[in-house]
Amino acid sequence: MGIALSDVWPVVHAERAQLVGDLSRIPDGSWATPSLCPGWDVHDVLAHLVDSAGTSRLGFVRRMIVARFDFDEDNASGIARARGDNPRDTLEAMRAVVGSTRTPPANPATRLVEAFVHGEDIRRPLQINASYPTASVVEALDYQCRTTVRFGDGRERIERLRLVATDADLATGSEKGQAAHGRAIDLLLAVSGRVVPEDALTGSGAEQLMSR
């Protein structure tokens, strides 16, 4: 599978706009809710999205040099820059970059992964339900399954497993591996190292996937 940035941006922009709309309705006390991303609260994840949306290819290279190519350090610095004292200020900053087409030098599918996974990092702890374009989620999942964990993805997490989407025409991984069945969005989160509800995935490989 492959996808062009020209196909990605309309989806990403729509997802950013929807997230801004969802977060504009949450109470002030919800911003400190722990997200699905370990160590980050809801406000941190939003700040990360703001920071990422404003980062160009050249800017990313410069940042990585400053961070000595430590992704965690760069992320922490980016959050500190983008995180407003008032979460509503960070939300307005997100609103301002909804239509941004800046991106680090990475596969276009990473923009989809970011939008969907971080969207759920925020929404699930806040009990906000959202629907995502299934075809684009499948693109993101396919990319995560083919790329190493070293780069924030999940190829190693699906070793000897077969992932089968219940809401899309997708089966990937080892043809003889134990199968994990679930919605594409839940499989994407699990492959991305997020905890999903026990009943979200079924099959003989579900427990293994969720434990990795």
209 and 158 in contact (C-beta within 8 Å)? yes
Rounded to an integer, the average pLDDT of 121-150 is 92
Inter-CA distances, 105 with 17, 39, 109, 123, Å: 23, 26, 11, 27
> Average pLDDT over the chain, rounded to whole?
93
Question: Which pLDDT value is given to residue 151?
Answer: 55
Cα separation of 42 and 44, whole Å? Answer: 5
113's CB contacts (< 8 A; 6+ apart) are: 140, 143, 144, 153, 188, 192
Q: Tell me which of 132 and 71 has the higher pLDDT.
A: 132
Task: Based on the fold, state whether residues 60 and 139 are members of the same structural domain.
Answer: no
Asked whether residue 14 falls in the same domain as residue 102, the answer is: yes
pLDDT at 3: 85
Cross-sheet strand order for the sheet of 171-173: 171-173, 161-165, 178-182, 201-202
Q: 150-203, pLDDT tens digit by residue?
A: 655 577 899 999 999 999 999 999 998 999 999 999 999 999 999 999 899 999
Look-up of token digits 């941004």: 100
* Domain extent at residue 14: 5-126
The predicted-structure confidence for 17-46, as pLDDT tens digits, reads as follows: 999 999 999 999 999 999 999 999 999 999
**Same-domain pairing of 81 and 154:** no
Q: What is the pLDDT of residues 97-112, one digit of tens each?
A: 999 999 988 899 999 9
| Tokens found for residue 95 | 């609103």
The neighbour count for residue 138, using CB atoms within 10 Å, is 22
Asked if residue 194 and residue 89 are part of one domain, the reply reads no
pLDDT at 150: 60
Q: Give me the number of domains the chain comprises.
A: 2
Residues 141 and 202 occupy one common structural domain: yes
- 31 lies in the same domain as 122: yes
Q: How far apart are CA 134 and CA 123, in angstroms?
A: 18
> How many percent of the chain have pLDDT more than 90?
79
- Do 78 and 46 share a domain, yes or no? yes
Position 147 scores a pLDDT of 84
Same-domain check for residues 10 and 104: yes
Q: How far apart are CA 25 and CA 124, in angstroms?
A: 15
The reported pLDDT for the residue numbered 159 is 92
Residue 171 maps to which CATH number? Answer: 3.30.1050
